[in-house]
Amino acid sequence: MESKIEEEIIIQEILPRLPIKSLFRFKLVSKKWLNLITHDPLFLAHHSHKGPSRTNITSPSYFSCKSELFFSTDDCYQFKWCKPNFLTGVMDDVMGSTNGLVYGVCSGYRKIFICNPITKHTVYVPNPEKQLTLSLACNPCNPSTGFTIVNPIFLREENDGTHNVDVFQFRVYSSKMGEWRESENASAFRVPRRCLKFRMCQAVYTGRKKVYWSLMRHILWFDIEEDVAGLVECPDHGNFVRPDEDGSFTEIGECDGAVSYSCMTRNGNIEIWLLIEKDNEFEWAKKHTVRLQRIIEEKWNVVSEICNGLNIKKGKNVAVALANRHHVKPLPYSGGEVLWFLIKTLNDLHKVLSFNLRTQELKLINEDGTIEPPLYPFMPTLLPCPT
């Protein structure tokens, strides 16, 4: 006897639990499935935020804009992104990602784009001042709230009586208002002199009302509802190796509604911290500490070729040598059991490695070194961009 699964079960129970890569193929089954997968709002919301696939496909994943590649701990979930026609060159104009949406500036810098690279849905914002420092705050689950773009702009240098400081103002674009405005309450915000190169840092939106930027030794935040800004000192104590000036790496990400901060210590440890906030009061809490030296010793077969290419031999100072020569960088942490980090080779190729905290498995993701930084934490979604 032949058995047949009812179409209702397929649509309501099976399809929403499939990974996005599989759904791409199933668009070809019929026009009905194409319509459902591409346009049905209830299906998209269910798939992106409720089904078991949400955990499987987004824990964790990253987007390499220059390599036009998505990848995660799931080997099956690595695929190329066919970039939109309005992006040219090597995609230097991608600024970051928020809640599964990629944003940046179009050629000529007169327009800002917000794009869902999975569905190709794109919206545009005028950029009359050719602004290059952007942060996107939006929630595709609730399109009615629209989106907000925040742009910190350098005004001048001042002396506060003790030190030289840089003075910034904030410009804000609201899709509800449809225009740019200057922030009133944080129109002249001061930060330590030359502690920030905004173009080199990815901004982070945690899903609440603040956006954040990494300032090397500080975290700058801006409240998009109250138009106030603040500065939080990183949990340094002089023990961290700071990122170099190549602009290829970010330190901060989003983890369970909080800002995560990934760093290397001078003795070769990877530390993950969370910035806990309540009523504009902030406190750092350590989430993970991973001894890189122990991992390397136990998994030397995974990293031996990389280290030998850097003239670093197996021994007690491998992790320290990698850290202090700026060859190893932890990636922003987005939660889950896996930590990610890069090792930069002498020919400027970047090897991406993942370490599972539970199983202690160290894995080399790209043998050929084709994944280019910057790498942005990414949450695939089938929901359209808010407007």
Average pLDDT over residues 323-338: 87
Examine the pLDDT at 266 and tell me if it is beyond 90: no
Tell whether 34 and 82 lie within a shared domain: no
Residue range(s) defining the domain that contains residue 40 = 1-58
Higher pLDDT, 195 or 232: 232
For 12-51, write each residue's pLDDT tens digit.
677 777 766 677 677 778 888 777 776 665 566 555 544 3
Of 316, 293, 318, nearest to 308 (Cα)? Answer: 318
CA max distance for the chain: 87
Banded model confidence at residue 295, pLDDT cuts 50, 70, 90: very high
Output the DSSP codes for 12-25. Answer: IIIGGGS-HHHHHH
> Which pTM value belongs to this model?
0.82
Tell whether 14 and 82 lie within a shared domain: no
Tell whether 285 and 162 lie within a shared domain: yes
Tell whether 51 and 108 lie within a shared domain: no
Tell whether 196 and 253 lie within a shared domain: yes
Tell whether 111 and 43 lie within a shared domain: no
Does the residue 385 lie in any domain? no
Tokens of 5: 């699964």
Beta bridge partners of 123: 114
Domain boundary among 58, 74, 102: 58
Of 250, 285, 290, nearest to 269 (Cα)? Answer: 290
Instruction: State residue 134's pLDDT score.
Output: 86
Tell whether 147 and 27 lie within a shared domain: no
Instruction: Give φ, ψ of 17 to 5 degrees.
Output: -100, 0
Tell whether 232 and 173 lie within a shared domain: yes
Does the residue 336 lie in any domain? yes
**Ramachandran quadrant class, 302 (left: phi over 0; alpha: psi -120 to 50; beta: rest):** alpha
- Mean pLDDT of the residues in the chain: 79
Domain of residue 96, CATH code: 2.120.10
Instruction: State residue 194's pLDDT score.
Output: 57
Examine the pLDDT at 104 and tell me if it is beyond 90: no
Tokens of 274: 């969370």
Examine the pLDDT at 377 and tell me if it is beyond 90: no
Tell whether 16 and 71 lie within a shared domain: no
Work out how many domains the chain is built from and give that number: 2
Domain boundary among 58, 89, 107: 58
Average pLDDT over residues 318-322: 90
